[in-house]
Structure formats: C-alpha cells, structure tokens
C-alpha cells in the first residue's frame, strides 16, 4: 500500500524549500540527503553551469531487483514565481498555499509521487527493473536542465514524466513545438512638431505589420502571440526603433514554420509601404512531442490505469515540458496528469487522494 502519510510529509517538506528556476540547490541537497542512506547511485550533473544555475540535475540510479528493460521517471525541482516562503496548508484532504505564493505542486507533487512509488516497491519487496530518477532544474524557464542533462548516465530508452495537470489517468501524448520570435523595426527619427515628414515611425511600421498578421488561434494545431512591445521615447520625436517579442507554437512543424514565415512577410510589406527596415529572428525553444498510437509505453500506461480503475484520458496539450526535450532526443516518452490544479497561480492546490493515485500509477509502471 502507498503510505499516504509519508507521501504527504515528503511533499510538504519539498514545497517549503525555496526553489525558483536556477536556484534549486536546496532541493537537490534535500533529495540527496533523503536518498543517499538508501544506497542508490546518485549523481548531480553540471547542467546548471550552462545557464548560471546553482545546481545541476539530480540523477538517481536504482539497481534492478527483477527482470525488464530500464525505465526512467522524471519531474522538475523548480517552481514559478511567487514561490519564496511557501506555507502549505492541509485541510480536508486538500493542500494549498497560505495564499501569497504558488503551492509548488508543479512539480514537487511529481517528485513526491516518484519517491513514494519507489519506497512502496521496496517496502513490499516488489521486483522492478533498473530505474533512473531524473529530477531536473530550470524547467519553468525553458527546460534548460533537460536540454543539458547528462544522458550518458541514463540507460533507459523510456521516460515517464510526471508534470501535467488533469486527473490521474490523463496521459499527454502530444505537445507543440515552440518558437520565440523577435522583430525590431528601424525607422528614422525627426522632430514630430517641426519636420515629421523627414521621419519614419518604427511604431507605425510595427502597427502596420501586426495589423496584417494572423495571431492567437490559427488552427486546431497552431497558435501565435505577440506579448511585448518596447521602444519609442518622447512624444515630440518620431520613434526610430521598436521591438516586438512573441512566440508561435504548433503540433505540426511545417505549420509552425509557415506561421513564422507569414509573420516575417507581414513585416516585409509594412516596411516596403512606409520606408523603414526590420530585423527578424526566431529560435526553436523545444521540439514537438507526438507519441505513436502503437507506443509500448503508452499501452503499458493504459493497462496500468485500467488495473487501478482510473478514468483514462489520452490527449494533447498546448504547453511544453521536459517531455518535449526527451522526445526530441529520440526517447519514448509520455507525460502523466498528477492532479495538480490551478498551477502557476496563488490559488494552486492538490488533493492528497490524487497524489496517492499518482504514486500508485507510478509504482505500477515501475514494475513493468
């Protein structure tokens, strides 16, 4: 049986530890102190050195006690702001924060479920193949921990990520690729009251370009958004520079690139019309994830959910996670719903019952 009290205490201990993106060392140290006495092979890689973080990913190898191919289970250690000084409150089987911060169930509930599943297997003497536990850093800021994970230490070809909202039984099999987009328009400054004719307004160019763009929901697989505009200055000066920052996402890589090209061409037309110039750049933040319907890992997860009488929902999501990075590395990967709700808000909460169910499902998958 899953030890609900131990699971809850593991979670409460974790959420009380401050761990904004790039500052996860206290959580990493806590996990090492917790797991070293159990005799696992624990390694903290140097992922943090690539982006100025204070810790790398915690990689735990658990020796096999039974047959089967190695498997990996992953959750991230960082939380979104505001996440400093979390005070968890447990009432009527629901855990919330005191209200001034996020709770941090995203993704410390995932870490807790993985740990409790493993402890349960050991307590019950249940056999399992070689396991790798991957506790990553800086997921919320761009999956930098997963991008720089020391994959040489991981033998597993299948990874279960515990990092999705939704009821336990939710299995995420599709997630979009994301591209960040930066556009800078260059005009010509002039005195707006005396000789505005000599100026070329970068703001006017930007407005013209944006007015031509298809944005927000493009189709069932594709979205795009411009989230920031910066530039200009005094009202009596024609602005000579303005920068737009945005993103595009799609389940389909061809559609993603088509949307980016559409946005660029809108800028071309605006500059030809008004006489300025522009710089346009995009960067793929992470690849799309698309799990095949005949995936062995997916089918094992479906059977495990059925065995536990969980309502199954196989679906896609509009957000990215470490699962996108793992999938992009050619690994078989799914992302599980673990019951966390209203994540990234100060209203975030999770039910103890859902954490228990997530641990039970994880334990079932650990047994192959």
Q: Which residues are catalytic?
A: 78, 139
Residue 197: count of CB within 10 angstroms of its CB: 7
Three-state DSSP at 76 gives: strand
CB within 8 A of 317, min separation 6: which ones? 164, 172, 174, 175, 335
> Is residue 228 packed enough to be buried (19+ CB in 10 Å), middle (13-18) or exposed (0-12)?
exposed
Copy the structure tokens of residue 23.
């500052």
Closest-CA residue to 361 (of 311, 323, 296, 321): 311
CB 107 within 8 A of CB 76: yes
Query: Rg of the chain over CA atoms, in angstroms?
Result: 24
Closest-CA residue to 365 (of 324, 310, 285): 310
CB 113 within 8 A of CB 162: yes
What is the SS3 assignment for 286-352? ECCEECCCCCHHHHHHHHHHHHCCCCCEEEECCCCCHHHHHHHCCCEEEEEEEEEECCCCCCCEEEH
């Amino acid at each position: 049986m899953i030890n609900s009290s131990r699971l809850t205490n593991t979670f409460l201990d974790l959420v009380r530890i401050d761990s904004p993106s790039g500052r996860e060392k206290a959580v990493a140290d806590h996990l090492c102190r917790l797991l070293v006495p159990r005799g696992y092979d624990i390694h903290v890689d140097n992922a943090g050195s690539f982006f100025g973080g204070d810790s790398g990913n915690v990689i735990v190898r658990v020796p096999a006690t039974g047959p089967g191919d190695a498997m990996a289970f992953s959750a991230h250690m960082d939380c979104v702001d505001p996440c400093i000084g979390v005070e968890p409150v447990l009432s009527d089987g629901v855990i919330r924060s005191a209200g001034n911060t996020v709770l941090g169930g995203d993704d410390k509930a995932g870490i807790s479920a993985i740990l409790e599943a493993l402890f349960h297997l050991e307590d019950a003497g249940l056999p399992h193949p070689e396991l790798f536990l991957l506790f990553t850093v800086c997921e919320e800021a761009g999956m930098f921990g997963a991008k720089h994970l020391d994959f040489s230490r991981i033998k597993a070809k299948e990874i279960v990520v515990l990092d999705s909202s939704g009821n336990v039984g939710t299995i995420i099999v599709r997630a979009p690729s994301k591209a960040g987009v930066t556009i800078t328009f260059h005009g010509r400054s002039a005195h707006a009251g005396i000789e505005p004719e000599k100026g070329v307004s970068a703001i006017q160019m930007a407005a013209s370009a944006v007015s031509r763009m298809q944005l927000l929901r493009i189709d069932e697989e594709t979205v795009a958004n411009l989230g920031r505009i910066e530039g200009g200055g005094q009202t009596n000066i024609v602005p000579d520079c303005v920068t737009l920052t945005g993103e595009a996402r799609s389940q389909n890589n061809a559609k993603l690139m088509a949307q980016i090209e559409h946005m660029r061409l809108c800028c071309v037309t605006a500059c030809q019309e008004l006489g300025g110039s522009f710089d346009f750049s995009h960067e793929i933040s992470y690849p799309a994830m698309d799990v095949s319907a005949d995936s062995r890992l997916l089918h094992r997860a479906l059977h495990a959910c059925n065995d536990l009488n969980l309502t199954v929902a196989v679906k896609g999501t509009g957000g990215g996670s470490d699962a996108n990075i793992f999938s992009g590395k050619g690994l078989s990967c799914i992302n599980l719903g673990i019951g966390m709700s209203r994540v990234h808000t100060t209203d975030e909460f999770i039910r103890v019952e859902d954490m228990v169910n997530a641990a039970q499902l994880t334990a079932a998958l650990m047994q192959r």
